[in-house]
Amino acid sequence: MSFEMAEAILLTIATAATPLLIAALGELVVERSGVLNLGVEGMMVMGAVTGFAAAQLSGSPWIGVLAAIVAGAVFSMLFAFLTLSLATNQVATGLSLTILGLGLSGMIGESFIGTPGLKLQSWVIPGLSEIPLVGKFLFAQDPIFYISILLTICVWWFIFRTRAGLTLRAVGDSHGSAHALGIRVIRIRYLAVLFGGACAGLAGGQLSLVYTPQWVENMTAGRGWIALALVVFASWLPWRVVAGAYLFGAVTIAQFHAQAQGIAIPSQFLSALPYLATIVVLVLISSNRRMTMRNTPASLGKPFVPER
């Protein structure tokens, strides 16, 4: 394998992993607050269509990115209102959000089918991007890739190094105790869901503005579900989300290369590899019972209504 090829493969993996990473980071914050939002796919596809439409109408992909973020955030508030203000079941509400999102995005996007999209241009840093092997990967990527890395650091820092992060974790671990301490549980959960929605929207925007600049119905094709699985894979730790997203992306790309090399294994088995790989890795890392327990938000999925 030549250097150029390795370089190109790294870039391909990064593009495939970035939407998973961003959506999963958002969901990680949501789940750390004790809320399980299974509507990632729906928020993502809303971000994708709104981002695409806004970029088309305004002529600027950056406006598209902003619109995608806003769309995901606004859409997530529907979930927040039902689950937090009305204490509905989170799992069912999240799944319903996905159904609604897939339908609504199809309606919004109808007039954009068959239109090539505007692509967010890459930021190439002269000089540094010439470094062999990793230069292009680190210094010649699209802006959303950089955002995803920055976001990982911020989320990690926020959760483990700030007082607000501590509060978030306290709410997720025991909403009863947090409430007793005077923490406004519902407000914090609203903010967490809002952040998760914004991230899912941005991830959708990456799909329709960078990955494949076009709009077609259901273009998320299940990536929201993978993002959900990655949060679990990561045991709710931000840096592990990066590892998971890149592992998943890498195995997906590797199996295409194996096929192109003419390897004589049925392609269905190769296509199944990314799913199997994540299970196997999770089995290996989760046998450390104490660490997993420590990071699992204990109130996950349980509705909270302040008693008074």
Partner 1 sequence: MRIELVRRPNPSALYSALSPLLALAITAALGAVMFALLGKAPHLALYSYFIEPLTEVWSIHELLIKAAPLILIAVGLSVCFLSNNWNIGAEGQFIMGAIAGSALPILAPDFQGPLVLPAMLIMGMLGGMAYAAIPAVLKARFNTNEILSSLMLVYVAQLFLDWLVRGPWRNPEGFNFPESRNFHADAILPEIMSSSGRAHYGFVFAIIAALVVWFTLNRTLKGFEIRVLGQSPRAGRFAGFSYTTTVITTFLIAGALAGLAGISEVSGAIGQLRPVISPGYGFTAIIVAFLGRLNPLGIVAAGLVLALSYLGGEAAQITLGVSNKVSNVFQGILLFSVLACDTLIHYRIRIAGPARAE
Partner 2 sequence: MRNTTKLMLAAVASFGMAAQAQAADVKACFIYVGPIGDFGWSYQHDQGRLELEEALGDKVETAYLESVPEGADAERAIERFARSGCNIIFTTSFGYMDATNKVAAKFPDVKFEHATGYKRETPNVSTYNSKFYQGRYVQGQIAAKMSEAGVAGYIGSFPIPEVVRGINSFMLGAQSVNPDFAVKVVWANTWFDPGKEADAAKALIDQGVDIITQHTDSTAPMQVAAERGIKAFGQASDMINFGPETQLTAIVDDWGPYYIERVQALLDGTYESVDVWHGMADGNVVMAPYANMPDDVKAMAEETEAAITSGELEPFTGPITKQDGSEWLAEGEQADIGTLLGLNFYVAGVDDQLPQ
Per partner kind, with CB cut-offs from 5 to 8 A, the member of partner 2, partner 1, none near residue 294 is none
* CB of 196 closer than 8 Å to CB of 37: yes
Nearer to partner 1, 160 or 269 (CB): 269
* CB of 134 closer than 8 Å to CB of 10: yes
Nearer to partner 2, 115 or 174 (CB): 115
Binding to partner 1 by CB under 8 A, coded x per residue (else -) over 209-238, reads: --------x-------x--xx--xx-x---
The reply to whether 103 sits near partner 1 by the rule CB under 8 A is yes
Q: DSSP state, 203?
A: H
* CB of 231 closer than 8 Å to CB of 31: yes
Please state the closest distance from residue 164 (CB atom) to partner 2, in A.
Answer: 34
Scan residues 115-174 and list those touching partner 1 (CB under 8 A): none
Nearest Cα to Cα of residue 97 among 40, 33, 22: 40
Distance CA 67, CA 170 (A): 32
Residues 6+ apart with CB under 8 A from 256: none
The reply to whether 97 sits near partner 1 by the rule CB under 8 A is yes
Please state the closest distance from residue 64 (CB atom) to partner 2, in A.
Answer: 16
Nearest Cα to Cα of residue 193 among 25, 35, 24, 7: 35
How many positions of this chain bind partner 1 (CB under 8 A)? Answer: 51
Bridging pattern class, strands 140-141 and 123-124: antiparallel
Per partner kind, with CB cut-offs from 5 to 8 A, the member of partner 1, partner 2, none near residue 95 is partner 1
User: What b/e string do you get for 93-121 counting C-beta neighbours within 10 Å, with b at 16 or more?
Assistant: bbebbbebbbeebbebbeebeeeebbbbe
Per partner kind, with CB cut-offs from 5 to 8 A, the member of partner 2, partner 1, none near residue 233 is partner 1
Per partner kind, with CB cut-offs from 5 to 8 A, the member of partner 1, partner 2, none near residue 100 is partner 1
Binding site for partner 2 (CB under 8 A): 5, 8-9, 12, 15-16, 19, 106, 109-110, 113-116, 207, 211-214, 216-219, 221, 223, 252-253, 256-257, 259-262, 264, 266-268, 271
Binding to partner 1 by CB under 8 A, coded x per residue (else -) over 268-287, reads: xx-xx--xx-xx--xx--xx
Task: Give the residue, chosen from 78, 193, 237, 253, that forms a contact with partner 1 under the rule CB under 8 A.
Answer: 78
Residues 6+ apart with CB under 8 A from 202: 22, 26, 47, 65, 68, 69, 72, 144, 147
Residues 6+ apart with CB under 8 A from 249: 13, 14, 16, 17, 20
Per partner kind, with CB cut-offs from 5 to 8 A, the member of partner 2, partner 1, none near residue 240 is none
Residues within the interface to partner 1 (CB under 8 A): 78, 82, 85-89, 91-93, 95-97, 99-104, 106-107, 110, 184, 186-187, 217, 225, 228-229, 232-233, 235, 266, 268-269, 271-272, 275-276, 278-279, 282-283, 286-287, 289, 292, 305-308
